[in-house]
Amino acid sequence: MAERRTPYEIYWEILVYCKTPRAFTAIINRCDLNSRTGQDYISFLCAKGYLSRTVEGEKSWYTTTEKAAEYLSLFTELYQKLFDTIPGFRL
């Protein structure tokens, strides 16, 4: 399923899910990613400053930062705009 999504869609899913702090395994389970690709996406978002990492004992928690707000609102706007084009039939 994951390969049918674009990286931008996966970034968006991770960022929305991490609005409340989440563990790595929860993120990859929820976003249907394997641990290697999940690590790549999360590292990218952390490097961009869109995700912050908090370490508590042996566990790490990832939380979406304020910096991601622009990306999230732009993504929402662009994807909702897709429904301006309609198939033009109703059953």
Partner 1 sequence: MTDETLTQFKNELNSFFVLVILNMVFGALAMAFGMQFMIASVMGLVEGEIPLHVLAAAISLAVFGLGLSWVVSSAKVLKGVTGIRREFSEYPGPVPAEVLTGWIVRLMTHYRENRETIRRMTVICALGGCAFLAVGVLNLIQGITWTADANASWIQGLPFIAAGINLAIGLASLLFCGYFRRYSAAWDLRLDETARSETILERTLEQQ
Binding site for partner 1 (CB under 8 A): 1, 4-6, 8-9, 11-13, 16, 48-50, 67, 70-72, 74-83, 85-91
Q: Quote the least distance from Cβ 28 to partner 1, whole Å.
A: 17
Token code pair at residue 17? 């899910």
Q: Quote the least distance from Cβ 52 to partner 1, whole Å.
A: 14
Token code pair at residue 13? 């899913």
Q: Quote the least distance from Cβ 39 to partner 1, whole Å.
A: 18
Q: Which is nearer to partner 1, 56 or 84 (CB)?
A: 84
- Going by C-beta distance under 8 Å and a sequence separation of 6 or more, which residues neighbour residue 2? 10, 31, 32, 33, 34, 37
Please check whether residue 59 is in contact with residue 23, taking contact to mean a CB–CB distance below 8 angstroms: yes
Q: Which is nearer to partner 1, 13 or 27 (CB)?
A: 13
Please check whether residue 38 is in contact with residue 51, taking contact to mean a CB–CB distance below 8 angstroms: no
54 three-class SS? strand
Q: Which is nearer to partner 1, 43 or 59 (CB)?
A: 43
